[in-house]
Amino acid sequence: MKADAVPASPSTPSLWQAGWHSAARHVDSPNFGPRPFEANIDLIVLHSISLPPGQYGGPEIEAFFTNTLNWDAHPYFQQIRGMAVSAHFVIRRTGELLQFVSSDDRAWHAGTSHYRGRDNCNDDSIGIELEGLEGDTFTQDQYTQLQKLCEDIAIAYPIAHIAGHEHIAPGRKQDPGSGFDWGFLQHKLGWSKHFFPTNTG
C-alpha cells in the first residue's frame, strides 16, 4: 500500500459482505467479470449519468445496467443501443444508493482508460455514477452520500486515488464535468490533495 493511501481496516459484517454494501439497494447487473488476480483496488472513479440526458428519477438507469432498457422508448437510446455496461454504485439525486456489481468484481464503467501509470482502469477501480448531467451541478444529498460511500470503500480497500471519468479517459469522456465540486468533496473527506486529480479547477 502506498504511504499516502487511506489506511484500510478490516470490514465489518454489518458494512460489507463479499463486496456488497449493506446500505445500498442491490440491483444485480450481468455486466461484470473477475478482476485480474493481482489487482490492487486503489482507485475510485466518479461518473455522471442520466437517461434520457437531463431527465431524473426514472427506471432507465437500472434498466440500462441490467440490459432491459427499451431501446425504442426514446430517440436518444439509439445512440447507446446494445451497449452492455455497469458501475458498482449509482447515487440518485435524492441520495439513494444503488449497487449493481460487487466491489470485489470488475464492473464495466471505465472503458479505454489510463491513470496513475496504468491502463484498463476497470481492473482495479470502483465506479460510482452520480445521477446528473455533464456540466450541471449535483445535489447536497448526493455529496453527503458520496462522502459516506468513499469513506466506507476506504475501510475495505486501499484507496489511494479518486478521479473522474474525464481524468482517466481525457478527450473521450467529460463526466462528471465542470459542475462537480472537487474541492468540496476533498474538504468533506479530509483526504490529502494527492488523492485527487491536479486538473480539477
Catalytic residue numbers? 129
- What's 119-172 look like in SS3? ECHHHHEEEEEEECCCCCCCCHHHHHHHHHHHHHHHHHCCCCEEEEHHHHCECC
The single-letter DSSP state of residue 115 is E
Helix, coil or strand: residue 26: strand
Angle value at C-alpha 20, between 18 and 25, nearest 5 degrees? 155
Q: Report the alpha-carbon distance of residue 145 to residue 36 in Å, rounded.
A: 29
Q: Report the alpha-carbon distance of residue 84 to residue 81 in Å, rounded.
A: 9
Which residue from 24, 35, 99 is spatially nearest to 61, judged by alpha carbons? 99
**Three cell numbers at 131?**
445521477
